[in-house]
Homo-oligomer: A and B are copies of this chain.
Amino acid sequence: MEKKIITVSREFGSGGHSIGEAVAQRMGVPFYDNQLITEVARHSGLSEEFIRENEEYASHSNSFLYQLAMSAAGTYGYPSIYQKLYDAQAHVIQELADKGPCVIVGRCADFILREHRDCLHVFIHADMAHRAAHVLERYGATDKPVEQRLRDKDNRRRNYYRFYTDREWGICTNYHLALDSGLLGFDRCVELILLAAASGH
Protein backbone atom coordinates (compact mmCIF):
# COMPACT_ATOMS: atom_id res chain seq x y z
CA MET A 1 0.00 0.00 0.00
CA GLU A 2 1.37 3.36 -0.99
CA LYS A 3 2.15 5.64 1.96
CA LYS A 4 0.59 9.02 1.42
CA ILE A 5 1.26 10.72 4.72
CA ILE A 6 4.91 11.33 5.50
CA THR A 7 6.03 12.42 8.96
CA VAL A 8 9.54 13.83 9.18
CA SER A 9 11.31 13.94 12.55
CA ARG A 10 14.73 15.54 12.43
CA GLU A 11 17.81 16.66 14.26
CA PHE A 12 18.25 20.44 14.18
CA GLY A 13 20.21 21.44 11.07
CA SER A 14 19.88 18.06 9.34
CA GLY A 15 17.78 19.54 6.53
CA GLY A 16 14.54 17.79 7.54
CA HIS A 17 12.53 20.90 6.65
CA SER A 18 14.04 21.27 3.16
CA ILE A 19 13.89 17.53 2.47
CA GLY A 20 10.26 17.30 3.65
CA GLU A 21 9.31 20.31 1.55
CA ALA A 22 10.90 18.80 -1.57
CA VAL A 23 9.12 15.47 -0.95
CA ALA A 24 5.77 17.30 -0.64
CA GLN A 25 6.43 19.18 -3.89
CA ARG A 26 7.35 15.98 -5.74
CA MET A 27 4.24 14.22 -4.40
CA GLY A 28 2.07 17.28 -5.07
CA VAL A 29 0.69 17.29 -1.50
CA PRO A 30 0.50 19.96 1.25
CA PHE A 31 3.53 20.56 3.46
CA TYR A 32 3.11 21.38 7.15
CA ASP A 33 5.86 22.72 9.32
CA ASN A 34 5.46 26.23 10.74
CA GLN A 35 2.12 26.36 8.94
CA LEU A 36 0.80 24.23 11.79
CA ILE A 37 1.16 27.14 14.21
CA THR A 38 -1.77 29.05 12.68
CA GLU A 39 -3.95 25.95 12.74
CA VAL A 40 -3.06 25.18 16.33
CA ALA A 41 -3.73 28.79 17.37
CA ARG A 42 -7.15 28.64 15.76
CA HIS A 43 -7.99 25.37 17.46
CA SER A 44 -6.62 26.14 20.92
CA GLY A 45 -7.15 29.85 21.41
CA LEU A 46 -3.45 30.14 22.34
CA SER A 47 -1.48 32.95 20.71
CA GLU A 48 0.77 32.19 17.76
CA GLU A 49 3.63 33.74 19.71
CA PHE A 50 3.15 31.42 22.68
CA ILE A 51 2.89 28.43 20.37
CA ARG A 52 6.02 29.39 18.44
CA GLU A 53 7.98 29.72 21.68
CA ASN A 54 6.77 26.54 23.29
CA GLU A 55 5.75 24.03 20.64
CA GLU A 56 8.17 21.18 20.29
CA TYR A 57 10.55 22.81 22.71
CA ALA A 58 8.89 22.46 26.10
CA SER A 59 12.00 24.26 27.23
CA HIS A 60 10.74 24.22 30.77
CA SER A 61 10.35 20.48 30.84
CA ASN A 62 13.58 20.12 32.79
CA SER A 63 12.90 22.98 35.14
CA PHE A 64 11.55 22.70 38.63
CA LEU A 65 8.81 25.24 37.91
CA TYR A 66 7.60 23.31 34.87
CA GLN A 67 7.50 20.05 36.79
CA LEU A 68 5.66 21.82 39.60
CA ALA A 69 3.13 23.31 37.19
CA MET A 70 2.54 19.93 35.55
CA SER A 71 2.20 18.23 38.87
CA ALA A 72 -0.14 20.87 40.32
CA ALA A 73 -2.25 20.73 37.18
CA GLY A 74 -2.44 16.96 37.52
CA THR A 75 -3.32 17.20 41.20
CA TYR A 76 -6.20 19.55 40.54
CA GLY A 77 -7.35 17.52 37.54
CA TYR A 78 -6.97 20.08 34.79
CA PRO A 79 -4.35 20.15 32.03
CA SER A 80 -1.50 22.65 32.15
CA ILE A 81 -1.18 25.17 29.34
CA TYR A 82 1.65 23.05 27.90
CA GLN A 83 -0.54 19.97 27.87
CA LYS A 84 -3.25 22.07 26.21
CA LEU A 85 -0.78 23.08 23.50
CA TYR A 86 0.30 19.47 22.92
CA ASP A 87 -3.32 18.28 22.78
CA ALA A 88 -4.21 21.00 20.27
CA GLN A 89 -1.22 20.05 18.10
CA ALA A 90 -2.19 16.38 18.25
CA HIS A 91 -5.77 17.23 17.32
CA VAL A 92 -4.71 19.37 14.34
CA ILE A 93 -2.23 16.71 13.12
CA GLN A 94 -4.90 13.99 13.32
CA GLU A 95 -7.32 16.20 11.39
CA LEU A 96 -4.79 16.97 8.65
CA ALA A 97 -3.90 13.28 8.28
CA ASP A 98 -7.59 12.37 8.04
CA LYS A 99 -8.07 15.03 5.36
CA GLY A 100 -5.58 13.43 2.95
CA PRO A 101 -1.99 13.02 1.75
CA CYS A 102 0.56 15.47 3.21
CA VAL A 103 4.04 15.86 4.70
CA ILE A 104 4.24 16.88 8.39
CA VAL A 105 7.51 17.93 10.03
CA GLY A 106 8.25 17.42 13.74
CA ARG A 107 5.83 17.85 16.65
CA CYS A 108 5.72 14.14 17.59
CA ALA A 109 3.66 13.48 14.46
CA ASP A 110 5.23 10.01 14.17
CA PHE A 111 3.84 9.17 17.60
CA ILE A 112 0.50 10.93 17.18
CA LEU A 113 -0.10 9.05 13.90
CA ARG A 114 1.43 5.75 15.01
CA GLU A 115 -1.82 3.85 14.42
CA HIS A 116 -2.45 5.52 11.04
CA ARG A 117 -1.86 2.81 8.45
CA ASP A 118 -1.28 5.26 5.62
CA CYS A 119 1.91 6.75 7.10
CA LEU A 120 5.62 6.55 6.42
CA HIS A 121 7.57 7.77 9.47
CA VAL A 122 11.00 9.21 8.61
CA PHE A 123 13.89 10.40 10.81
CA ILE A 124 16.62 12.65 9.38
CA HIS A 125 19.96 13.14 11.10
CA ALA A 126 23.50 14.18 10.20
CA ASP A 127 26.91 14.61 11.76
CA MET A 128 27.77 17.80 13.64
CA ALA A 129 29.89 19.30 10.81
CA HIS A 130 27.15 19.06 8.19
CA ARG A 131 24.50 20.36 10.59
CA ALA A 132 26.63 23.27 11.76
CA ALA A 133 27.29 24.32 8.16
CA HIS A 134 23.59 24.09 7.31
CA VAL A 135 22.46 26.09 10.36
CA LEU A 136 25.01 28.85 9.72
CA GLU A 137 23.91 29.05 6.09
CA ARG A 138 20.21 29.07 6.93
CA TYR A 139 20.03 31.09 10.17
CA GLY A 140 23.42 32.80 10.41
CA ALA A 141 25.78 33.01 13.39
CA THR A 142 24.83 34.13 16.91
CA ASP A 143 26.79 34.76 20.10
CA LYS A 144 26.36 31.12 21.05
CA PRO A 145 28.71 28.62 19.33
CA VAL A 146 26.79 26.74 16.67
CA GLU A 147 27.58 23.32 18.19
CA GLN A 148 26.01 24.50 21.43
CA ARG A 149 22.91 25.68 19.56
CA LEU A 150 22.61 22.26 17.92
CA ARG A 151 22.98 20.42 21.20
CA ASP A 152 20.51 22.70 23.03
CA LYS A 153 17.80 22.39 20.42
CA ASP A 154 18.18 18.63 20.06
CA ASN A 155 18.01 18.24 23.83
CA ARG A 156 14.85 20.29 23.98
CA ARG A 157 13.27 18.23 21.20
CA ARG A 158 14.39 15.02 22.89
CA ASN A 159 12.91 16.09 26.24
CA TYR A 160 9.68 17.19 24.63
CA TYR A 161 9.35 13.91 22.73
CA ARG A 162 10.13 11.83 25.80
CA PHE A 163 7.70 13.79 27.97
CA TYR A 164 4.71 13.45 25.66
CA THR A 165 5.31 10.05 24.08
CA ASP A 166 7.13 8.00 26.74
CA ARG A 167 9.44 6.92 23.93
CA GLU A 168 13.03 7.78 23.13
CA TRP A 169 13.73 10.16 20.26
CA GLY A 170 15.95 8.88 17.43
CA ILE A 171 15.54 5.13 18.05
CA CYS A 172 15.42 3.22 14.74
CA THR A 173 12.36 1.16 15.65
CA ASN A 174 10.19 4.31 15.97
CA TYR A 175 10.61 5.06 12.26
CA HIS A 176 10.17 3.18 9.00
CA LEU A 177 13.12 4.97 7.44
CA ALA A 178 16.05 6.84 9.03
CA LEU A 179 18.54 8.71 6.89
CA ASP A 180 21.92 10.38 7.40
CA SER A 181 21.52 13.47 5.23
CA GLY A 182 25.18 14.41 5.79
CA LEU A 183 26.41 11.30 4.04
CA LEU A 184 23.56 10.83 1.58
CA GLY A 185 22.87 14.45 0.61
CA PHE A 186 19.47 16.15 0.59
CA ASP A 187 18.52 15.13 -2.98
CA ARG A 188 19.27 11.46 -2.38
CA CYS A 189 17.22 11.60 0.84
CA VAL A 190 14.26 12.90 -1.17
CA GLU A 191 14.63 10.03 -3.65
CA LEU A 192 14.88 7.46 -0.86
CA ILE A 193 11.74 8.76 0.87
CA LEU A 194 9.78 8.72 -2.39
CA LEU A 195 10.95 5.16 -3.12
CA ALA A 196 10.03 4.01 0.39
CA ALA A 197 6.65 5.77 0.23
CA ALA A 198 5.85 4.05 -3.07
CA SER A 199 6.27 0.70 -1.29
CA GLY A 200 3.84 -1.78 -2.74
CA HIS A 201 4.31 -4.13 0.19
Contact = CB atoms under 8 A, between A and B. Distances in A.
A195 interface: yes
Interface in A154-201: 170-173, 175-180, 183-185, 187-188, 191-192, 195-196, 199-201
A125 interface: yes
A123 interface: yes
Interface string A1-40: 0000000000100000000000000000000000000000
A122 to B, nearest CB: 10
A171 B180 CA distance: 12
Interface residues of A, number: 26
Nearest to A187: B201
Contacts of A171: 170-172
A187 B120 CA distance: 17
Given A192-B196, A195-B191, A195-B195, A176 B184 contact: yes
Nearest to A11: B173
Contacts of A179: 176-177, 196
Contacts of A201: 183-185, 187-188
Contacts of A123: 172, 178
Interface in A114-131: 120, 123, 125
16 contacts: A11-B173, A120-B183, A125-B172, A170-B171, A171-B171, A171-B172, A176-B180, A176-B184, A177-B177, A177-B179, A185-B201, A188-B196, A188-B201, A192-B192, A192-B195, A192-B196
